[in-house]
Every structure is written in structure tokens, then in C-alpha cells.
Amino acid sequence: MMPSSPQPPADPSIPQVLLFGHSGAGKSALLGALYQAGEKQGETLLGEVLESSGRLASLRDAVYRGTELEPTHTELTSYTVRLRPWRVGARVVTEPITIVLNDCSGKAAESLIRHPDSLHDPETRAPVARAVIDADAIILMVNGSADDGELSAAFKEFEAFLAVVGQGKANAREVGGFPVFLVLTQCDKLTEPGDTREKWESRVHEHAESAWAKFHTFLKDAAHEDDAPSPFLPFGSIELMVDTVAVRLPRLLDAPGQPSTPFRVAELFRDCFAAARSHRARVSGSNRRLKWTLRAALTFVGALLLGSIGVALFQPPQPDTHLIDRVIAYQRQESPAAVRLADPNLARNKQTLSDLHDDPGFFALRDDLKEFIDSRLKEIEDYEQYRNKLAAAIAPSDTRTLEDLAKVEQSLHGELSLPTGYTWEETPAGLLREKWLADVRAIREAESSFLDRYRDYVRRGIALTLTPAFGGNWRADVNGLVAEATRPPAALSDPLPGSPAVASPRGEAVLNRVPYEFDRVYEARKDWETTHDRLTHLRDLADALGLTAGPDRPEPVLVLPEPGPGINSVSLPSARWTALLRNFNSTSDDFHEWNLRDFLDPGRSILAARLDQCFRTGVRHVQALILARLGPDVTQKDTPESWRMFANVLTDSTTPFPEWGRLLHLYVRLRDPSAPNPILELAAFLRTPQFEVNLHGFDLVIPVDLSLDKVHPAGPLSVATTSRGSSTTTKRFKQVGEGVREGSITTYKLTAEGDRKITYIPGDTLRAELPVRSGNQDLKLVWVAVGSQTYPFDLFAREPRLVKASGVSEPAVGVKLAPTPSSGWPHIPVLFPELKR
């Protein structure tokens, strides 16, 4: 087994989290799920996960592609993860967090559990033991779908392990409350056939409760048995939390399609990161205090040492020729700074120089030789100090904003500039600094070019959404842009051009991923994603409506053929719906992303007109189906009773009407999201027992050339409702003010005299009459419905007849009578068929 993956020097301020558990517990998968949660559940995790090596992204891909994960072969794999602050609108609601996640192999964990001795050695170099000692939180994982026996065996081991960890933390005089998360993994496997989300969650909950009870019993029993110090001590104590997770939701009855949604992973890491951060902060505080104590003690010891050196100084000096030769020999064969300060020469030289310096004859040496030794020791001390400063500094590749990058550059020219008096340019530290300066330039250049590129995509995308027509090359242009923008601007895991690699820790070349993740590029990429989505939805809808051109466009499934021979109106709607789902990759099952509200003119108007045209063809199919159901003698079926029965046919799933309702609803919904399903609207209309109308009045239009002499009202308009029991109610509407002439028409306002309410029961007859005068002739205008007898609401939509005193009548061409809009005059649903009397 390999010991551990290469790791940057640990920054003491970065909290570390260790994932610990048996092989197959799901540690690596959980890290993949964390990356997924960062993308899908950022609002719960409170951040988006950034990891510049791309290894977490690969883990995620493997987990959700459903391939078996390889057991982890290296003892410990470390990931430095940055959580980009979460935003609500433009407001940043969290701080950025950097955290090191350590994934250990199950085999190494099992071996540590069996032989935990290395945990007692604070200087241990064994990777997993080191990770336990350095951890700010441990996620202790056990397969939640294991049976009772397996769980008990795992808990027994964990108990022993925790006791050692607790003891170790106490011995290290560490702060109290070390966070340990006991996590039951793979809970999706606890699902049973027919489970709903609620049922499954409650089973998972019960499982966790019983596991916790079992574990708790272990802890209690163990404390009594051997009387060893309990891990729950106030100083170095452990704070244990229990959680349940799954990398994916199982297939559930009420949520069948969410296999790529992690369960409680975001919550677990959110809490774990917070606990680890606060532990790290408390540890730093306590270490500072310890350091102070230590420094005070060292000063005291230093004073004692000086005393003994003082005694040595008073001995008479004895020149040591052998020592002089050694110093001169060292001086002669000394190599340039770049070589003498490089590893491993540095340690060797330091040892040699210290030996020379500590030699009893040192004080008797010539001044120039003493100065030489002192200056070289000082150089090594300065160099080490500088190298440590560089190791702890923020590298250009750690930044994600131009401001932070500028700060890094500033510090490389400021506190991290090479000290004067030394020629360190070619030393490893000097080369690393030089490389970082080159990285700053390369990142800045790439960031700006990536930014320009995504801004250009957005600009081109918006231009395409503003198209005046969808034909010609439009579709090919959209697809060309989408294909171009889908490719990242550079291979993200490749080295960034202009970023050199040098042979020292943190000296590897920066990857293209770094500038790609810079905040401005990220924002521009998000803008492009929005533009991309809008553009592809526009293309898809235009495709579905047959408005686009090009060789490989999908079937225009929303364009319907006219009803007629060879066309099966019964199967048409479901065939089209199936084709729609097959051909168009909708993110929702109601296609709301095609809502016209989200598109811009002129494209929006073109789509609206085509949707209307297609809808009307659909209406003709439905009306033909209704008429076919009613049979040849339609007038016989035009009764309130048969219409009420017909309403049940409309909602009967064995008829084609519900499918038509779903399809036609789509056409109207895309234009107006609140539009009702036309089939359900018709059914509700046919079931209405009575219509309440509040007739305020009418606007009457009479063309001036209706007759030779001007025709004008000569009395009130009467609207008569005659019930089937033959009682008649008449409402009158009188003219108010003079008629207003505009061009070739005169408009009159008629208003109700007295009560305005009419209760209309389907089947009642409706008739309106207005006495008019033309010259010295008394005539009348008469309105009667010509469509349905049951619902004669088309009465005022038709031209009246002009009836002479002799009883002869003719169409009153151009006369219009419109109820004032607030009257609530019933409107006949669009699917109600034309009935000829």
C-alpha cells in the first residue's frame, strides 16, 4: 500500500477533517457526494465546493455514473477544498472556508484500530495516525445497511478507538469537545418496495436511533468494565454526533427520479466543517498559550547556558591549527548559494558549520574565519526562515479573485522579496518565488482571456435570442455556439501556459482550472449558463413548432395536422406527448422552461402566433370528436341534461379528451401560465347549474348607413329570459346621453333601469329587442341566438335583424351590442362546438 498522496505543507490555520472507517464503508463515495451536494444543494451546504486538482470531481463522476468505486489504495489521500461563499442574490451569506479532507483507506484504518499504539506518539509519521492526531473532526463511518451483528462488531472496535483518541487528545493537553460524527452510510439500501419518502426516512431514523442506543450501551459498559479514563473528559474529551447519509436517494413512490441527489450529505458536511473550524480556532488559542509558556521556560534555560559560556570565555584562548585547516578547506570547496542551500546540502552544511562553530577552538580563530562561519550560519538561518515564510504563504494558485492575486503579488515584492545581501535568485526558494511571480502573470492573463471568452458567448447568445426569424442558419448558429461554449476554454487539468514547474514543494505548474474558477470567470460562466438555457429552450420550442430549418432538426411535434381522412384524432394527442418527451430533453414534466414570458420579442411574437395557430387546429380536432360523440342529430342532444352527462365523458380517462386537455393546455399555458386546461374548463362550464349575470349596460354601435335615413334608438332595450316553465323575466336598458358619432358609426350607451341581476338557467331562451326609428318609420332590432339552445350566450356576438312594421326583416349589417365588461356575461368555452340549428 502506498503511504500517502503528495501533500502541500500543512497550513496550521486550515482545519482538517478525517474520514475514517472500514473498507467499503463509503468514505470515498461520500467525498464524491460532497462535490455533488456543492453543485446541487449549495443553499444547504452554504457554499460551492472548489477543489483545484479535479480529483473530487472525478470521484463524483464515478459515483453518479454508477461504476463501482475502486478501494482506496494509498493509506491517506488529502484534498484541499475551498468552499466558495454562498450568495443569496447579490448578498454573500457565508465566509469562504478552506479545509483539508483526509480520506484514509479502510485497510489502513482497520490496521490502526488493531494497533493503535502509534496514536500515543505525538511525533508519529504513520500517515493515518498522523491524520487522527492532527484532525479537527473525525467522520467515523459505518455501513448503515449492515446487520445487527456487523454493527455491534464495528461499534466495539470504534469504542476502543475512540477511547485511545480521547486519551491521546487529553495527553496532548488539547482543548475539550473534539468533534466526532458517527455516520451510518448507504441508507438508501434500507428502502423497501412501495416506500414513500416519509416512510423511508422514518425507517432510516429508527435505524439510527437503535444504532445509537447500541453504541451508547457499549460506551457505558466499557467505562464500567476497565475503569479506564472515559473519552468524555472535559479536557481532551470527545463530542459525539450521529447522522445518516446516502450518496443518492433511493427510488421512492413519490420521488422516483432523483438518483443523483445526495441525502443529508450537505447537512453533515456543513455541520462538520463548522465544528472543525471552531475546534481549530480553540486549538490555536490554546497552542498560543502553550507557546508563551514554553518561550518563557526557554529564556530561563538560555540564561543558564549563557552563564556556562561565560565561564568558557574566561579560559585563555588556544589557536587550533587543525580547526583553521578545516575552516579554510570548507571555504575553498564551498559551492554557490543555489547549491549549498539546496536540499540535502543545506542540512549537511548546517551540521558542518555548527560543528566548526561549536568547536572549543572556535574563539581562538582569526576574526575573518569566525566571521565567515557566523555569516554562513546566519545565511542558513535566514534562508530557512525565508523558506518557511514562503511555505506558509498563500500561493497564486490558492487565490480565486484578482484582489487576492494582487495581494499575493504585492507580498512577493514586499515581505517575501529576497533579502538584500544574499544571492539567492537560483536557490530553490528564490526559484519558487520567481515561479509564483510568473504564475501571477499567467493566471491574470488567462483569467482575462477566459472572462472575455464567456462574455463573448453571452453577447452572441443574446444576439441569437433576439432573432427576427428562426429559419435559415439560425438553428445551426445556435448549435455552433452551444458546442463551442460547452468545451472549456482550455483542458482544465493541463498546466497553465506560462506557469513553470520547479522542483520544490508547492512548485508544480498551476492548472488551467485555477483561472477558470476565478470569481469573475465563474460569474461570467453562470451568466452564460443562463443565456445558454434560454437559447436552447428557445431553439427547442421553435423546433417543436416547426419554425426552424436545417438538416437534423427534430420532428415538429407541436404542429398538428388538420382533422380529416387518414388522421386519427383519438390517438393524436398521446402520440404527440410521447414524441415530445422523447425528442425534447425537458428539465420539467410540464415544459415550463418554454414559457413565452422568458423570451424576448420579436421571437416571442412569432412563437405566440404559431402556438395559437396550432392550438386552433387542436380545437378543431376536439370539436369534431365532440360532434362525432353527439351523433347525427345534434339539436336533440342540445339539452342541459345531455350536456351535463357529456361533462363526465370529457373527464373520463378512457376517452381521448383528457389527453387532448393536457396537450391543448400546454399551448395555452406557454402563453399564459394561469390559463386553465381547456377540457376541464369546458367540463366545468357544462356542469354549471346556473349563471349569475350582473348586467350593468351595453355599448350599442349603429352604422350611419344602415338605412337610407339615420337609424337611432327609440326606446329602452329589453332583454327577456324565458324559462322552460315559460315564465319570462324582462330587464330594460335605457339610453343615456346622446349618441356619439365617430366616422361611419354612432355609439350609444345603454344602462340598466332598476335591478341588474339575471339568473340564467341553461335551456332558458334569451331574446333582446330595441325599438328604433329611421325617418318616420318605427322598426326594431331583434337579437336571437343561432348556436346552442342550451347556452345562447353568443346572442350579442351576432348581428341582429332589422324588423319592419310589416314583419319583414333583414340583417342589420354592422350593428353591434356589447355588454359592458363588468357585467360578467358568460363566455362560451373555446372547445364548445359550433351547433347549427
Find the binder of Mg ion among 15, 20, 21, 28 (CB under 5 A).
28
Which range, of 7-15, 182-190, 553-561, 622-630, touches ligand GTP by CB under 6 A? 182-190
* Closest distance of CB 31 from ligand GTP, Å: 8
Which range, of 16-24, 210-218, 406-414, 760-768, touches ligand GTP by CB under 6 A? 16-24
Cross-strand pairs, 48: 84
Residues 160 and 166: their CA atoms lie apart, in Å, by 10
Residues 93 and 350: their CA atoms lie apart, in Å, by 50
Pick the closer one to ligand GTP by CB: 26 or 661: 26
Binding residues among 678-717 for ligand GTP as defined by CB under 6 A: none
* Closest distance of CB 27 from Mg ion, Å: 5
Which range, of 20-28, 79-87, 331-339, 746-754, touches ligand GTP by CB under 6 A? 20-28
Pick the closer one to ligand GTP by CB: 185 or 467: 185
Cross-strand pairs, 692: 759
733 near 717, Cβ under 8 Å?
A: yes
Q: Pick from Mg ion, ligand GTP, none: which does 697 bind, CB < 5 to 8 A by kind?
A: none
281 near 327, Cβ under 8 Å?
A: no
Alpha helices in 138-196 (DSSP H): 148-171
* Closest distance of CB 107 from ligand GTP, Å: 7
Binding residues among 692-721 for Mg ion as defined by CB under 5 A: none
Pick the closer one to ligand GTP by CB: 60 or 433: 60
* Closest distance of CB 211 from ligand GTP, Å: 16
Which range, of 26-34, 192-200, 363-371, 820-828, touches Mg ion by CB under 5 A? 26-34
Pick the closer one to Mg ion by CB: 67 or 806: 67
Pick the closer one to ligand GTP by CB: 174 or 188: 188
Pick the closer one to Mg ion by CB: 27 or 264: 27
* Closest distance of CB 558 from Mg ion, Å: 49
Build a one-symbol-per-residue string for 243-282: x at contacts with ligand GTP by CB under 6 A, - elsewhere. Answer: ---xx-----------------------------------
Query: For cell 456487523, what's the residue?
Result: 150
Q: How many CB atoms lie within 10 A of CB 672?
A: 11
158 near 142, Cβ under 8 Å?
A: yes
Query: For cell 470569481, what's the residue?
Result: 519
Binding residues among 113-142 for Mg ion as defined by CB under 5 A: none
Pick the closer one to ligand GTP by CB: 107 or 506: 107
* Closest distance of CB 273 from ligand GTP, Å: 20
Interface size with ligand GTP, residues (CB under 6 A)? 20
Rg (CA), the chain: 42
Find the binder of ligand GTP among 23, 293, 331, 473 (CB under 6 A).
23
Q: How far is CA 568 from CA 412, 554, 605, in A?
A: 76, 22, 30
Half-sphere exposure of residue 521: CA atoms within 13 angstroms, side-chain side: 23
Which range, of 67-75, 556-564, 714-722, 814-822, touches Mg ion by CB under 5 A? 67-75
* Closest distance of CB 99 from ligand GTP, Å: 19
Pick the closer one to ligand GTP by CB: 29 or 164: 29
**CA-CA-CA-CA dihedral for 647, 648, 652, 657, to nearest 10:** -10
Residues 785 and 635: their CA atoms lie apart, in Å, by 14
Which range, of 180-188, 484-492, 607-615, 689-697, touches ligand GTP by CB under 6 A? 180-188
Pick the closer one to ligand GTP by CB: 52 or 244: 244
735 near 748, Cβ under 8 Å?
A: yes
Pick the closer one to Mg ion by CB: 28 or 118: 28
Q: How many CB atoms lie within 10 A of CB 718?
A: 16
CA dihedral (774, 779, 783, 784) positive or negative? negative
Pick the closer one to ligand GTP by CB: 200 or 372: 200
Q: How far is CA 550 from CA 172, 452, 553, 555, in A?
A: 72, 30, 6, 12
Q: How many CB atoms lie within 10 A of CB 827?
A: 11
Which range, of 71-79, 160-168, 204-212, 305-313, touches Mg ion by CB under 5 A? 71-79
Check binding of 72 to Mg ion (CB under 5 A). yes
Which range, of 3-11, 23-31, 273-281, 608-616, touches Mg ion by CB under 5 A? 23-31
Binding residues among 724-753 for ligand GTP as defined by CB under 6 A: none
Q: Pick from Mg ion, ligand GTP, none: which does 818 bind, CB < 5 to 8 A by kind?
A: none
Under DSSP, is residue 692 helix (H, G, I), strand (E, B) or coil? strand
Q: Copy the grid coordinates of residue 724.
A: 322552460
Q: What is the 3-state secondary structure (H, E, C) of 337-363?
A: HHHHCCCCHHHHHHHHHHHHHHCCCHH
Pick the closer one to Mg ion by CB: 28 or 735: 28
Phi, psi of 812 (to 5 degrees): -90, 80
Q: How many CB atoms lie within 10 A of CB 463?
A: 11
Closest-by-Cβ residue to ligand GTP is: 106
Binding residues among 95-124 for ligand GTP as defined by CB under 6 A: 105-106
* Closest distance of CB 189 from ligand GTP, Å: 5
Pick the closer one to ligand GTP by CB: 8 or 24: 24
83 near 96, Cβ under 8 Å?
A: yes
Build a one-symbol-per-residue string for 61-100: x at contacts with ligand GTP by CB under 6 A, - elsewhere. Answer: -------xx-xx----------------------------
Residues 654 and 489: their CA atoms lie apart, in Å, by 54
Residues 817 and 701: their CA atoms lie apart, in Å, by 6
Build a one-symbol-per-residue string for 24-43: x at contacts with ligand GTP by CB under 6 A, - elsewhere. Answer: xxxxxx--------------
* Closest distance of CB 163 from ligand GTP, Å: 23
Q: How many CB atoms lie within 10 A of CB 692?
A: 11
What is 546-575 written as a DSSP string? Answer: T---STTPPP-TTPPPPSSTT--TTTHHHH
Alpha helices in 424-554 (DSSP H): 428-465, 474-486, 513-516, 519-544
Query: Residue 96: which of 480, 513, 400 has the closest Cα?
Result: 400
Q: How far is CA 23 from CA 32, 108, 214, in A?
A: 16, 9, 22
Q: How many CB atoms lie within 10 A of CB 368?
A: 9
Pick the closer one to ligand GTP by CB: 25 or 547: 25
Q: Pick from Mg ion, ligand GTP, none: which does 29 bind, CB < 5 to 8 A by kind?
A: ligand GTP
Q: Copy the grid coordinates of residue 775.
A: 325617418
Q: Pick from ligand GTP, Mg ion, none: which does 46 bind, CB < 5 to 8 A by kind?
A: none
Which range, of 22-30, 44-52, 121-129, 642-650, touches Mg ion by CB under 5 A? 22-30
Q: How far is CA 362 from CA 261, 317, 318, in A?
A: 71, 9, 9
Residues 349 and 381: their CA atoms lie apart, in Å, by 12
Binding residues among 183-202 for ligand GTP as defined by CB under 6 A: 185-186, 188-189
Pick the closer one to ligand GTP by CB: 39 or 810: 39
Pick the closer one to Mg ion by CB: 81 or 408: 81
Q: Which residues bind ligand GTP (CB under 6 A)?
A: 21, 23-29, 68-69, 71-72, 105-106, 185-186, 188-189, 246-247
Q: Which residues bind Mg ion (CB under 5 A)?
A: 27-28, 72
